[in-house]
Amino acid sequence: MRTLHTIAELRSALAQPRREGRRVGLVPTMGAFHDGHRSLMRRARHECELVVVSLFVNPSQFNEPADLDAYPRDEPHDAAIAAEESVDLLFAPTAAEMYPHGFATTVHVSGVASGLEGALRGPGHFDGVATIVTKLLSLINPQVAYFGQKDAQQVAVVRQLTRDLNLPQEIVACPTVREADGLAMSSRNRLLDASDRRRALALQRALAAAQQAAASGERRAAEILAAAAAVLDQASLEPDYLALVDPPTFEAVSAVSGPALALVAARVGPVRLIDNQLLA
């Protein structure tokens, strides 16, 4: 595996595989790799001839400077994990490389990006995501890009922007990888102390309660969400949001009549955690 820090190095490493028409897969990440990231790398390795992982803690998508500062960074460790997963190229640019002096373009997605994470973290969050993903897709031009369903709204935003901008890449959403006790893996989990780590389990349990309510025939969103809210309440967690939406548009649904996505976000100790579950 080669680690590349500049766009020039990346372009030259991609030139030959492109000429040979090799199938390129991209996994965009912010590092601090866990099994969720590994699952994306494995899927890409399985389906593509050249696997590129980008490692970039994108400052423009952080709304809180403290969150950006606290975000775990360990490039040598991440490089070792990517090598274990047989990644070909690790692209780890600096912020100045991606946003040089004079950078003036923002990709803004409305609609699907405006609620939930977009509303809570401010419009800058998904603007930052959409802009960096557009840059990476344009630079690397993979046939396929892999994202985690854990960040369901991010997947919907990326699908929207590729459709609207006629980008040719296929966007693949991979299932959420969880710890043995059900907590969705996240780079932020390592910032939880033992007591917050236990309370964090309520997010997944709340979604399971919503799922159970829907499975037992409840169609009203308010009732399904009330079942989830009760679980959070028991853990003394105040959700930032608890929502039931139509998966492609992220519009709130008032009654379940087809696939609906239940989403939760809550601050647990020092971090904000998110999770989601498709209700059948």
Active site (annotated) includes residue 108: no
Dihedral sign (CA 58, 59, 60, 66): positive
Q: Which amino acid is at 181?
A: D
Task: Find the shortest distance in angstroms from Cβ 160 to ligand AMP.
Answer: 15
Q: Could you say which of 34, 37, 46, 125 is catalytic?
A: 37
- Closer residue to ligand AMP in complex, CB, 184/263: 184
Task: Find the shortest distance in angstroms from Cβ 26 to ligand AMP.
Answer: 11
Strands 239-245 and 260-268: what pairing?
antiparallel
Q: What residues make contact with ligand AMP under the rule CB under 6 A?
A: 29-30, 36-37, 39-40, 147-148, 150-151, 174, 176-177, 184-187
- Closer residue to ligand AMP in complex, CB, 53/256: 53
d(C-alpha 37, C-alpha 52), whole Å: 13
- Closer residue to ligand AMP in complex, CB, 30/89: 30
Residues 6+ away with beta carbon under 8 Å from 217: none
| CB-based contact 225:210 (threshold 8 Å) | yes
d(C-alpha 131, C-alpha 109), whole Å: 10
d(C-alpha 135, C-alpha 138), whole Å: 5
CA dihedral 18, 155, 168, 60 (to 10 degrees): -70
Residue count of the chain: 280
- Closer residue to ligand AMP in complex, CB, 36/239: 36
Task: Find the shortest distance in angstroms from Cβ 265 to ligand AMP.
Answer: 14
Task: Find the shortest distance in angstroms from Cβ 222 to ligand AMP.
Answer: 29
Catalytic amino acids?
Answer: 37
